[in-house]
Amino acid sequence: MAQIFLLEDDPVLGKAIQLQLELELYQVIWARNLQSGRELVRTNTNIDLFMLDVNLPDGNGYEFCEWLRKESITTPIMFLTARTDEESVVKGFDHGANDYIRKPFGQREILARIKNQLADKKPSLEQLRFSGVTLIINQQVLKTEASQIGLNRREFEILRVFFENPETIVSREKLISSLSSGEEIFDRTVDSHISHIRSKLQKNGVSGIKINSVYGQGYRLEKLT
């Protein structure tokens, strides 16, 4: 069952879209503003399609679309909006959207566009496995039999280095190199991200792996028996 994220502040329209999609056997996550939308995205890592309104009480859908792309989320994004002028449409695509639907829209049209975005959009999942834990590259999540953990971009990049070099000492310099994208990265930044990763592992009961510090050398991803 595909999971669709709907960002729409109009309660009547939002409910109508939700019911329509659920009748088509889609699972719908509905947010009414940017703040709750970001919170829901952080706790739901299996979203297959985003549908965004533009005018929102605490900002606009363009901001949310841009935020998703900056978080390295590549999931298809569709705008549903009453802004029908060419400039607004172009702005939507410039911010990273895959489609732009002008309100009012017909039921058959929106379903056809949804199916088009979901069709063949999911590449085969590239995975790295170690000690019963899987790092899913395309989705930037860490998965065990019991849980699935969402990662921000830097947490993901650090874990990818560890999973590509298990049971091997990884220096801070190598981790800094994996994080660098034009900005200056410090040792304490790496230490902070690793602390957050450890906290997520503990909070989600991940018992198969552990990131240990190696004094004066760096860190090592180890298997727990």
How does pLDDT run across 175-199, given as a tens digit for each residue? 888 776 545 566 788 899 999 999 9
Residue 83 has pLDDT above 90, yes or no: no
Residue 132 or residue 51, greater confidence: 51
Q: Residue 181: its pLDDT value, please?
A: 56
Token pair listed for 121: 């959009």
pLDDT in the model for residue 184: 59
In this prediction, residues 41-69 reach a mean pLDDT of 90
Owning domain of residue 8? 3-118
Scanning 45-84, the segments in alpha helix (DSSP H) are 61-70
Averaged pLDDT, 124-142? 82
Domain count of the chain?
2
111 shares its domain with 164: no
What does the alpha-carbon distance between residue 120 and residue 118 come to, in Å, rounded to a whole number? 6
Chosen domain end from 118, 147, 165: 118
Between strands 59-60 and 55-56, the pairing is antiparallel
pLDDT for 32 equals 95
Between helix 187-203 and helix 153-164 the angle, nearest 10°, is 90
Distances (CA, A) of 225 to 14, 47, 100, 107, 138: 49, 33, 51, 54, 28
Does residue 120 carry a pLDDT above 70? no
**How confident is the prediction for the chain on average, in pLDDT?**
88
Residues 89 and 53 grouped into a single domain: yes
Q: What pLDDT is recorded for position 183?
A: 55
Please compute the mean of the pLDDT values over residues 135-159 and round it to a whole number: 87
Residues 89 and 57 in one domain: yes
Over residues 53-79, the mean pLDDT reads: 90
Q: 99 CB contacts (<8 Å, ≥6 apart)?
A: 76, 77, 78, 79, 113, 116, 117
Residue-level pLDDT at 225: 66
In this prediction, residue 177 carries a pLDDT of 84
Residues 47 and 101 in one domain: yes
Query: Does residue 220 register a pLDDT over 90?
Result: yes
Is residue 50 helix, strand or coil?
A: strand
125 has a pLDDT exceeding 90 = no
Residue 129 token pair = 């496995």
Question: What CA–CA distance (Å, rounded) separates 212 from 103?
Answer: 54
Q: What is the mean pLDDT of residues 3-19?
A: 94
Listed residues 93, 118, 143: the one ending a domain? 118
Give the phi and the psi of residue 207 in degrees, each rounded to 5.
-110, -5
| Same domain? 108 vs 209 | no
Q: Are residues 86 and 158 in the same domain?
A: no
Predicted pLDDT of residue 158: 93
